[in-house]
Structures are given as structure tokens and as C-alpha cells.
Structure 1
Amino acid sequence: MRTGTPLFPLPTVLFPEGPLPLRVFEPRYVDMVGRCMRDDEPFGVIRIEENGKSSSETQLCRIGTLAIIADWFQSDGGLLGILAIGSLRFQLHATARQPDGLRVGDIEELPPEPRVPLPPEFVSMSSALQHLIQKLDRLYQGIETRFDDASWVSLRLAEILPIGLEHKQHCLELEDPLERLRYLRPLVRLSR
């Protein structure tokens, strides 16, 4: 169990090994990024549940992804920009608020997904992913591609496809990459 992990609640889902560009402007998150960079520690990206409540009452999903800061820059407007890369998934057990409003959590790191050879029935999905990644070249530049790995292919498809956040969260929570690919197959067809 990892205690006191800084959390960055967002209306998005970060997947293991996936890129997440962020512009950081709230002081609590600027401080958090500084601490994470200084201490070489990750922070947790966790999706905000859609419940219509105010930000102080927002509910968080129970599964998120640890993020490692891969790069940072200062934008023209003075905002801090970072590129975070997803690491391990985690299960959130408890949260607390620090005096500055930053949420921290007690989390349990979940094991990494093993590499699983891509079955022939999903080769067309891998081909579609290759095409999508070519279009998003800049964002995926420098990220190792594994188009023959069912886990990697399923996570990238869930990340890139224009599907609802509830579908993305469901994919993050699935532990079987083949089950994730079966879930995504009709959504890939719809997005073509």
C-alpha cells in the first residue's frame, strides 16, 4: 500500500504507457508537479465521476494510473506544461485533502499486464491502430510500439478511440487484454 500519493483528478483516463499532455496552472498542482519532479515520484491520475456535484464533492473512480513526468515546458502564457506517461494502474482505497486542497490517496499498485501475443482475429484492429498512431505521430513519438502485443494494442485503442469516458474507464478496469479487445471491437467498427 502506498500512502499519501498525490492525486490529479481529471475528466480523462490515463492508460499504462500512454502519453498525457497537461497544462498546469492551479498552484496546488504546480507545487505537486515540482515535488514529483524533485523527488522523482509519480502522481496518480484518476477520473472524476460524472455526478453533477461541485468540485469539492466530486467522486473519484476507484481505478486510476500512476503518471511519471517525462518532460516539461513553460508555455508562452506562463503556464507549466508537462508530458506525463502512464505507469502502473492502481486501486484507490482512501483519500484526504491537504491544506492547499490537493487530494492525496492511499493506493494499491496493481500488477502490470503481461505481454500477450495478438491473436489473428484482432490483427485488423492492430492495423487500424497503426494507421491512427501515424496520424498522431507527434504525441506518440519516442514511445515503443508493440503492434503484436494484445495488451499494448488494446490499451492504445482504448486511449485513442473517440469513445465515452465510461467506456475508457471500463477498459482501464479490465484486467484481460483479450476481453478488452472483444469489448472494443464493435467500437472500432463504429469509429471508421
Structure 2
Amino acid sequence: MSSVKDMRRKMFVFSGTAIDHVKLTPNQENFTAITVCHRTFTDLKRAHAIFSLATPTIFHGFLTCVNPDQSFSTTVDNKVVNFCGVDYPPNKWHDICTTWDSATGLTHMWLDGQPLTPKSTTNNKLTGKPIVTLGQSFEGMVTDVHMWDYVLSPDEIKNFMKRLSFTPGNVMNWAELDCEIIGKVIDGDVEISPRSNSSDP
């Protein structure tokens, strides 16, 4: 059963199975733009998904994945784009933000304070009640998950990544997270340094 949790200074610890995950309930549906930000910590070398949003008709509505070669991919409305040439060392906290805007069809990704080359995805709107899954087949820690129904400005993204004051997600807010833990997922405390160095625990 889902409940609203204040997850500030907390994290989810995932075991890497396909069963153990967290189901998140966004407070709205139908999207013409999306921004999702989160922090992850893992030593996985295999491909894995971090954040997955599906709709009743689209299995991969908005998906953030890490590929076996440690590049990233984003899927919007089942269309996949890859972000290559990234530095994603294991056993460090990484700040990740992904944006998409149906008006332009562009998807942007930011990793540890650096913007990656924007990619063209789709102009289609995402409609229907969203189903969000966090951490399925992921082994490691995830914290500070926020989602907005608009493209966050570069300054706001930098504030999130530097752990400065930023506008919390208006679709999903880590401080008011409507979630359901499925399987063996640990809800634990974490100390996130206020400094901008993403390798800090």
C-alpha cells in the first residue's frame, strides 16, 4: 500500500533484482514536458534502468538507463537516444537530470553539473495515468528524486546538483513522496554533503 513519506536525508537501497523496486505515484497525468532529477550510487557494470515512467499505452514513456559501456540512454515515447562520452565512475554519488519538451522534441541530460549534447526524440504528448518505477534491477542507492511537468532552467539544475536551494518537483517531491515499496528495498538515512563535489557521500 502506498503512503506519503518525507524522504529528506533518506535514500532507497536496492538489491538488484527484477522484483524489488519502489512504485511512485505522480500527482498528475498527461505531460507535454518533463524534468526528472535524482542522485545515484552504484558499482554496476551491466545495463540498468534508474527511473521508468510508463502509461497505459506506452511501456517506455520516459526512461533513464545506463548502458553496458557506461553511456546513458533516454527513452521518450518508446524512442531511444544515447548520450556517449560520459564519465560515470563507480562507488560515487552522481547527480543526473533529464529534460524533455514536446514543443521542440529535444531531450537534454545533465551529469554531475555538465550538460550533454541534446538529442531529438519526439513531439508526441504523454497521456494517461503514469506508472513510475524506481530501482528495478538496480543495485545501489538512490536519493533526491524530483519530477517537474516543465523543463527546469539550467540555473535550477545547477542548484540541484550543487545541493543549493531549488524549486522542488511539482509532480513528485522527495520531501512528500507518494510511494510503495515492493519486495526488499531498504529505506535508510543518508548524509548528503552540501558541497558541490558529487563524490561526497
With normalisation by structure 1, the TM-score equals 0.27
Q: Which has the higher contact order (CA 8 A, sep 6+)?
A: 2
Bigger radius of gyration among the two: 1
**Higher strand proportion:** 2
